[in-house]
Structures are given as structure tokens and as C-alpha cells.
Structure 1
């Protein structure tokens, strides 16, 4: 896939800012400063001191325009008018063409055909235009390390500039630069990243950028976001010390993901945990054993600790630790998040951010949160920006008003997502989990009314905090409802299942004793939906007795849905075939909601519940369908021959 490179760096290099002569002279002086004498002689035989050449002159430029058949764009013309070619363009191009050396590329390796498989099934006009550049480009690299530099006159930008593509065999795809000037700016940054930064030599450019990094760190800790981040991105592109780490911290918190960046200059637990979290994020189901190779980056003395961190990240139990008041707040926030009280956990965390103390000179924010199994899910949406906008590192701050509220509206916005959940008022979450497990009175048999081969699987007690993805595997294993448990505001607890099997049970005669048992001594709301277009049921219980119920069943074709209503619906809750309207009304009526970030991104305890359906009564029959691989009469899977 093509990688696009954007605009000029801050201050501009060429053709703005210094202009082509000033830009090339600065690059030349810095190259001489960091290059050993023997390497100078190789690039500039005979003691030369100029990486460029004499200007191209009007005749050579005109001849190039005649060969291409078009007037040259401003940035390429400006370059040729100063130097007719350039040596050491970045690290992998040792000689860049002048006017006479620009040649038709001709796609000698059939790159058009080779890259065609990577196009989407229905490519856009832009994708097709960029893909076609292999067949209409001109080669600019005369000598390089397996690198092509291709000028594409067939795709001019609004400013008339022609894009330049850089392609090397080790890349995932060509890099596209909007103009020749942008390409040269990137080659200059590459030279700094891979040569100047490693040499330790100071130049006017490095002094300016290092001062910018120091100011960006100060501003970032004071709660500014966009300005410092722009400074850090520029400096990181030049490989300046500390800039990549500080930039990765800010970008990670803004995205709510650990990402591939390096957050620390020194290898340690925090950095390794972030590396592991990034690895597992892109590989659901991977184990610590799969990622054991990551410990090879650690010193031998830290290998054992690294394996422990790796296992905790893989198992979803890694806890980011910090000293002092901020560390105590992390523990408090984790305890709240583990019970589904993610909004309160976020408030506790945000209030403690001013107490965070940077461990390294370029630390700007507590990015270790991105590896924390319980706290990273809190950082979705605008929360990462809110954290970065909070002064920290000992600077005073007063938290703003709490404007976030949990509700049920977000479930209505998920369209045809099927869910089943129970909200219980006045019942601790631990007791809710117990009631989902117990089949009526203690010691009551679970096999009554079932055939020998149809006894429901045994429930499983609440386990450690688990992700939404993990619950799908549990349901496949147990073939039973798998609920995630937590607490809501105002004394409510919840049990939530996504994509439950079966259809919503519409009549009370279909249910077992579970809904009534959940509401003993309490109030319970049961909502079971197959999605907005496929029907839902809402049942309300008080102390084991159903007080009202309403539901919607869509009819075939375009007819209106059938509404079922039992009992007296309270004021403020109208029977409505529109599920989002019903959910919003329930949220307003009872002042209750479900924590979206905990249920969609977070980790919560799970319980494998007993069945919601009653067992067959006397004289009733129950059909059980099981799907197994087809087998031939000889006992081998169909289509296979015995050995």
C-alpha cells in the first residue's frame, strides 16, 4: 500500500524557508561535519567539498521538458537551477539525477501487475491513478541501494507539482511525496535520523530542535496538547533525543491504544508492558508463549521479570504501578473498573493526574496506563485528550465538573445488535452473580424434567475480569448464557450478555424461575432484544412478582410490529415498537444506565448462568439439535478414505 508523506516541516526548508541554495548548503555542511574522511573521499573524490553540481542551465532544463513533454513543476526546476544533481540524498540514494540523467522508467519489473493484487475489489479513482504511476514515471535515482526514486508527471497536484515515489524492496509499498521539494525535505530528515542523531554532532538544526523539544515537554506537562505535539512530531522526524518517546506517549493516550511507538528511552517494566500490550492487541487469542520472543530485547537480569509481565498482559491482569498518591489512585480506579463502575474509575484517575511524577526527563504523561488491563479501556473517545489537558508533574489543577453519565441510549444506537441484560436495584453484584448460578432452593435437583442427554451444563461461578471476546469462547465451551457482571450508579447492579442464543421469550409461561429469583427482595428489569428490527421484551419485577411487561414482534413484510403489553406500564414509559425509544425512556425513568466503555472495551467478571428457559413439563417434549461433521459408513469423515 502507498504511504503518503505530508507537508513541509515547521519553518520550511525548500522551496520556502531557506530556499534551495540555503537548504542544500546547510545539508552539505552538516554532511561534512558527520562524515569520516574516508567516506568523504568515496563520495567526493579528489578532496571535493560540495555534494551538488553546477546549475543545470536553461538549455538542459528545456531539453528535459521536451523529453517529458511538459513544463517542469516549480520545486524541481528550482532545484536544477541551483544544482544539476545531488549526492548522498538521504541514506539509500547515493546519487540523484540532474537534468540529463532523468530517464523513462518503463516499469521493467511489471510492478503494475505485481501490485494489482493489493488493490481492493472496487478501487477508487485515486487508488487506480496512484497504482498506474509505475507505467508513466521517470527515474531520478542514478545510484542507490536497491531504491527507486520515481517522478510521476501524470498526477499533478492543485499547485502543479508532480509527486515523487520512493520504493525499496524492503518496504510494504512505495512512499508518495507530494512534490520533489517534499521528497528532498524527507531525505534531509532521513539523513538526520540515521546519521546526525547517531553521531552526537551539534548543528544549527539540532540546537533549534532540541530547544523545541525541551519547550514541548514543559508545555505538555502544563496541559497543552496540539502545540507541543506538533513540535515533538517535527523533532521525532529528525531523530532528536526524547522526541519519539514523548510523541509516542501523547499519541498513544490520544488514540487510547498502546501503539507501536517507543515510550521510554530506557528498557524496563513499563516499556516492556507497552510492547507486549501492543503485540497482543493485534493478535487476539495469542498466548504468553507465542510472544516469549519479546523477552530477547531485555537484559539477562530482567528476563525473569519480563516473562512475568508478559504473562500478566496476556492473561489480562497487568497492573501499571506508580509510587505515591498517583499509584494509590491507580489501585482505586482499578477496583472500581473491575466492578463496572468505569465512569467513577475515570474520575478518580483524572483527579489524581496532577500527582503523577515523570520518571524520565522526556516523560510527558502516564502512558503506562495504555498497558493496564483494566484502565486502558477507560481512555476511549476524548478522555485521552482530557488527561493530556490536565496539568501534571506537581502543577496544581482543579478537576472540572462531571458531565459524563451512563445511560441505555448507546445500546439503541447499535442497530441490530442482540443483547440480554438484567438491572437489579438494591442487590450487591456478588449476590446477583450467586442468584444467576443457583437453581432455586439450595440442593434442588437440576435434572428434573430433562432427559438424560439434555441436562443443562453446570453453571460456573464468577471468574476474573474478562473481555467481551473472551465471553464468546466461554459460551462456546459451556453452551450456556455467559453474563458479565458489574455495578451501576444509584445502587443498581447488572448482568449483561451480548448476542444471546435463541429468541426473546415473550410469555411468562416460557421462563423458568430465574427472573423472579433475581428480584427477590429487590427490583429487577429484564431486557432481551434481538435488535431493533427483530423484536424485544422488557419485563419488570418487584420482590419476585412481575408488575408489567412490554414487547415488540415484527410482522413479515412491511406491516407494523405487534406490541404485547401486560400489566400497568408506569407513566413516562410508552409501549413503542422502536427499541431505542424504550431504552432511553427506561434510562430516564429509573435513572440507570450501563457503562459502555466497560462492556465494549473493558474487563468484567463473568458468570456462566443457569438456563433462562423452564424445563419441559409432564407430557411436553423437547427437541435438541446437534451438528456434527458428516461421517461415512466406515467411520471416516465424508470424502476421506480409510488408511
Structure 2
């Protein structure tokens, strides 16, 4: 805005009247200057005439920016610009800064280069606060940017696009500090501005519940800037569901008994994510009583261990439970649709509660709520109670097609742009995910609590010893597309050893019952080696298999279905590590992609990309994918962890009874 569109007189008059109001009921002593301002009900001074402004410009050797000139034409300076600037310069006090405090030594990157030497200084009296107008940082209206630096904040200066924007920000700061001060003294800070903003908070609340979250955010942002009660806590809920975490604290709502269980887990999530010190946790939650401190510690423990479960009363709580059962087996799209169907039945816990934001802390459902889905959630009307129109969460869809399913996504680039990673998986027909430990695991194999890919990776390197012939995989499990298939997926496989490999498909296809047609598939791929293996079994018998290893194709016993013929899928098998036709760059994964597409089409199967890369899934340890060593085989024991890192002890299997033999 320019001086033609902003009424400085009314703005500064309102500010002065509201400042006077902070003293009306206060016993705090006032300085002689403040006493005079209080009696005059005016924080400013006399107006600066056009001649005085022209004289200042002549002294400084430049024309002042429009909004500062307009300000001077109303008052030649200002008192109490916010909480830390006691007096702003008028025509007589404005002067060139010339890096008077040596700050250019500390802040000299980008737009701050040279600013300290060339800027016009406006602070006259302050609490270690410097206000500078930069004549080279201008806009199309001729406004100069303002940089406000507080030495005690230990951070770069805050930039404002103009003097007018700076003064509006200081007015907001005055409101925030005045409201806090009045609250500590047990009195109200109320005026026409606060009443307008409090009405805006209520409008924002109703807009948010109706699904107009963007309009609600505008209202709440304005009110929060003035420090109005409730605004910041509600705005943080909207921000958090859209994936924003910076400076999200819920403004004390977590201390309220109504919202403790809803918001403290979110604080715990950020505490863990940023690896903050354990001693910071009690201060962060300000739990108060011993009982609440213990409850906060228990919530933190559950978040750390990945076992926290979001619960909420009523019909929406029932939808949450059904959704969790879907998400824990990889059906994240079905889980999301269940949550969305039940959302209109959600009821707020109190007047400051805008959405089921606590879902984000749920160990299983939290990853399902992406920022995009968070915006969809916020755009859905909710909070009208059990009489709201909604899909019945009890009959929510169990078989919603998962986005990005199929298998071909495995042949795409990793999300972190790293080199292609090896992978292997088993698909089992006619078995629920919970039954796979019995099919593929050892005698005591059992499902773990759901964990993320990163947690799984960390668990694999916590130490221990293992012989190199033993290849017991830790796999994640879930539904594989259709209703009758399940998967066991290993994202961190050991090295492929054709001489010792034993396909788990044979054991996986045995269910001990007369159920003809039960099938199992195994896929093992090492992209950088140019290796792709497929084996298929039915009722405990291997039906066919093939392995593409670089430029060679090896076929197992049994006829391979035409759609899966490796000679057709891998038209020109690449040499190990070969990229494109010129042999450079990333390995050519065309054959791998064709094979995955053919397997998915032939059996109607798929793997849930989102669940495997971003979600939490159960895991268990399989039996070894390699045979035990035979006489003459050499292997080693490898120890991970410990002070020495790793150690290898070689061993050799010999015939029992041979002098010097060792039984392994």
C-alpha cells in the first residue's frame, strides 16, 4: 500500500488509544514522557511539515520512501513501537547506520551484503534492537525494505517489505504483549480491535468445521498475529494436518485436560523426530501434576516404541479401529477411505478442537495421513455429531484398489534417487498375512509390532553373529492386491547364491489341507547385477522357475507360461551392471519391468507401494533361503556390532567321522 491507500492518522490514533487503555487499570508507574503521552492520548509528536521532510531529505541526500514520508506527515517520530523499540526516529533523528555495531561481520550473505553500511537507521531508543531502511532493497512503489534486528535473538534480522508493513507488525506485537501482561495481572485487555479479532476467531472456527479451512486459516492467522486467545492453538491444528511442523506448539492446548491425549502424542512425535534431549520433554509438555507427568512419559514411551494408538469416542472411533486393521496389513487406501467415510461423524473434544489431528501420532494410521490427505480431511465438513450425514463406517470399503499398486513400481527409481536396490518377496495364495509365519517362518516365528522401513533397517544392524550360509530374512507382510493373496517382502536381502538357494515357494504353497490350487511365487531381483529370479510352486511342488543372470537365462523344471517366458520378457539380457545400449549409466531395467508387469497380470497380484515405503507393517523372520552346508562347503561366522565392528571366523564342513571333523 502507498500513502494514498493507507490512513496513517486513524491507524496511529487507534494505536495510541489502545496503549492508553493498557494503563487505565494499571498501577504501574509511568515515566514523565509516558505520562505526557498518556494524558494527550497520543504516542506520536507534532506533524512534520513538508519543509522539514524536504530538509531531512537534503541532509540525508536521498528521497525518503513513500510510507515513511506519509508517516512523518502525521507524526515526526513515535514512542513504543512494539515492546522493544521505545522511540522511532523523526526527521531530525534519522541517520545513516554505517555498520555502527559491526554486524556486517556476522550477517553478510545474499541480500544482507552491504546493507549494514548503506542503510538508514530509525531506532533512537530501544532494547538492543536496530531498525534499518535499505535504499537498495526496493519495490515498484519505491518502498524501501525494513530490516529489524534484535541482538538478543541471535538470528538474522526480520525483513519487512516497507515501513508500513513494519509498523503493522509492531502494532501486532504491542497487542500480543499487552494481552499477555493483562492476563498475568488478572485483568482483560479489551477494545474494539480485540473484540473484532475474537469474533474473527469464532468465524474461523466455524469455517474450519464446515470444510472451508483455507478461509479459516486467513482469519486465524490474523487473530494469532495479535495474540488473541485460542487462535494460535486452532491454527496449529490446521497447519499440522497439512504437514507443517515448524513452530507448531498448539499454544498451551496440550495442557488442557480436554485435549491432553489428542495433542501430547503429536508433541512426542516431534520430540522423537528431532531427537531432543530426554530432559526437554517435561518442560515441553508442562504436564503439571505427577499423574499427568506420568501420563506424558507413557505417551512418549509408546511413540518411541511405535505402539501408540489414537483413540476417540463415538462412531468415528469405530471407523478408526476398522481403518487400523486395514492399514496394518498394507491396505492404506482402504484405511483412508474408511476414515473419510466416518469423518462427518467425528465430534470435537471441546470448543478449540477443529479436526482429529491426533491421528497423525497413531503408529499405524499416522503415515496414512499425508499432507495431501490432510487437506482433503480439512475440506470435509465435520463436527456436527452423530446425526451428520455420512457413509456407514461399519460398511466402509475393504477392497479399495491401492494407488500405485501392481509390481512394476519396483523397477522405478528409488524415492531418494539412490542406486537401484535389490529386493525379494514371496506371494502366497489362500493365506491371510497373519498365517505367513506358519508357512515361511521357523517354529517360533511370530509377528512383530508394526514398524517402518527405517525401523526395520535399524533392527537388522543391532549386533549378533550369523553363519554366512544362513539366510533368514526379516520380511514385512500384508495383502497382495486381490482378496486371496498375501505377501512377505524383504527390502534388504542378502546376496543371491544360486548354488545354495532354495525357493521358499515350495513351503509357502503347503497349507496342510486339501485345497487344490494353492500357489506361491518368489521373486528375487538384484538390478545392478542384472539378476531376476522367479519360481512358482503349487501344493508343495515347484512347477517352474527361471533366473536371468546378466546375459544368461537359466530355466528350471516344468513348463513356463507363455506370458512369463523370460526369452520374450528379457529380449536382450544385459550384462551385469550394463546401463543402456552404450553400457553406461544406470542398469537397464526394461526386462525387470516387463517381468513384473507380466506377473501382476498373470496372477492378479500387487504390492502396496505406499505401505512398503512409508507405512508401518508387521514383520517376522523366515526360515533360511539357502540350504545347510554340505561336506566340503566353506562358510564363515560374521559378527556385527561391538567395539571391533565385525569379525569373520572361517569354518569348513567335512564328513562326520573323519579325523579332526567338526559337527556343525
Instruction: Using structure 1 for the length normalisation, give the TM-score.
Output: 0.80
**What's the CA shift for 1:287?**
8.7
Secondary structure class of the residue paired with 2:312:
coil
Secondary structure class of the residue paired with 1:51:
coil
**What's the CA shift for 1:44?**
2.1
1:156 alignment counterpart: 138
1:528 alignment counterpart: 524
Cα–Cα, structure 1 residues 581 and 180, in superposed 2: closer, same or farther, change >3 Å? farther
**What's the CA shift for 1:476?**
0.7
Cα–Cα, structure 1 residues 105 and 409, in superposed 2: closer, same or farther, change >3 Å? farther
8 Å CA contact 1:355, 1:392 repeated in 2:
yes
**Residue number among 628, 632, 647 corresponding to 1:619 in the alignment:** 632
2:71 alignment counterpart: 79
Secondary structure class of the residue paired with 2:532:
strand
2:413 alignment counterpart: 414
8 Å CA contact 2:22, 2:178 repeated in 1:
yes
2:368 alignment counterpart: 378
**What's the CA shift for 1:96?**
1.3
Secondary structure class of the residue paired with 1:155:
strand
Query: What is the CA deviation profile of residues 593-637 of structure 1, one whole-angstrom value per residue up to 9, with x for unaligned ones?
Result: 333333233222222334433344433333667789789xxxxxx
8 Å CA contact 1:216, 1:228 repeated in 2:
yes
Q: How is 1:254-403 mapped onto 2 (pairs within 5 angstroms)?
A: 254-255=242-243, 260-262=248-250, 264=253, 266-267=256-257, 268-283=260-275, 291-294=281-284, 296-394=286-384, 396-398=388-390
Q: How is 1:221-260 mapped onto 2 (pairs within 5 angstroms)?
A: 221-255=209-243, 260=248
Cα–Cα, structure 1 residues 227 and 23, in superposed 2: closer, same or farther, change >3 Å? same
Cα–Cα, structure 1 residues 611 and 261, in superposed 2: closer, same or farther, change >3 Å? same
Secondary structure class of the residue paired with 1:537:
strand
Alpha-carbon distance in 1 for matches of 2:61, 2:554: 75
Secondary structure class of the residue paired with 2:86:
strand
1:496 alignment counterpart: 489
Cα–Cα, structure 1 residues 258 and 147, in superposed 2: closer, same or farther, change >3 Å? closer
Q: How is 1:77-156 mapped onto 2 (pairs within 5 angstroms)?
A: 77-115=69-107, 128-156=110-138
Alpha-carbon distance in 2 for matches of 1:591, 1:500: 25
Cα–Cα, structure 1 residues 584 and 26, in superposed 2: closer, same or farther, change >3 Å? farther
Alpha-carbon distance in 1 for matches of 2:375, 2:4: 33
Indicate the larger mover: 328-337 or 620-629. Answer: 620-629
Alpha-carbon distance in 1 for matches of 2:639, 2:364: 37
Is 1:183 matched up with 2:187?
no
1:214 alignment counterpart: 202
**What's the CA shift for 1:572?**
8.1
Q: How is 1:588-603 mapped onto 2 (pairs within 5 angstroms)?
A: 588-603=601-616
**What's the CA shift for 1:379?**
0.6
1:545 alignment counterpart: 542
8 Å CA contact 2:345, 2:390 repeated in 1:
no
Secondary structure class of the residue paired with 1:260:
coil
Alpha-carbon distance in 2 for matches of 1:357, 1:172: 42
Is 1:434 matched up with 2:422?
no
**What's the CA shift for 1:51?**
0.7
Alpha-carbon distance in 2 for matches of 1:287, 1:600: 28
8 Å CA contact 2:334, 2:402 repeated in 1:
no
In structure 2, the gaps of 5 or more residues are: 183-187, 467-471, 512-517, 571-588, 646-664
Alpha-carbon distance in 1 for matches of 2:198, 2:42: 27
Alpha-carbon distance in 2 for matches of 1:572, 1:298: 65
**What's the CA shift for 1:187?**
1.0
8 Å CA contact 1:298, 1:306 repeated in 2:
no
2:454 alignment counterpart: 469
Alpha-carbon distance in 2 for matches of 1:298, 1:76: 48
**What's the CA shift for 1:277?**
1.8
1:33 alignment counterpart: 21
Secondary structure class of the residue paired with 1:52:
coil
Cα–Cα, structure 1 residues 587 and 231, in superposed 2: closer, same or farther, change >3 Å? farther
8 Å CA contact 1:255, 1:380 repeated in 2:
yes
Cα–Cα, structure 1 residues 272 and 471, in superposed 2: closer, same or farther, change >3 Å? same
In structure 1, the gaps of 5 or more residues are: 1-11, 117-126, 443-458, 554-560, 632-643
Alpha-carbon distance in 2 for matches of 1:167, 1:582: 61
Indicate the larger mover: 197-206 or 162-171. Answer: 197-206
Secondary structure class of the residue paired with 1:359:
coil
Indicate the larger mover: 352-361 or 611-620. Answer: 611-620
Indicate the larger mover: 607-616 or 231-240. Answer: 607-616
Q: How is 1:451-462 mapped onto 2 (pairs within 5 angstroms)?
A: 461-462=446-447
Alpha-carbon distance in 2 for matches of 1:481, 1:22: 73
Indicate the larger mover: 561-570 or 604-613. Answer: 561-570
8 Å CA contact 1:313, 1:373 repeated in 2:
yes
8 Å CA contact 1:256, 1:377 repeated in 2:
no
8 Å CA contact 1:258, 1:277 repeated in 2:
no
1:639 alignment counterpart: none
**What's the CA shift for 1:430?**
2.4
Indicate the larger mover: 622-631 or 338-347. Answer: 622-631
Alpha-carbon distance in 1 for matches of 2:599, 2:5: 61
Is 1:193 matched up with 2:176?
yes
Alpha-carbon distance in 2 for matches of 1:163, 1:258: 25
**What's the CA shift for 1:384?**
0.7
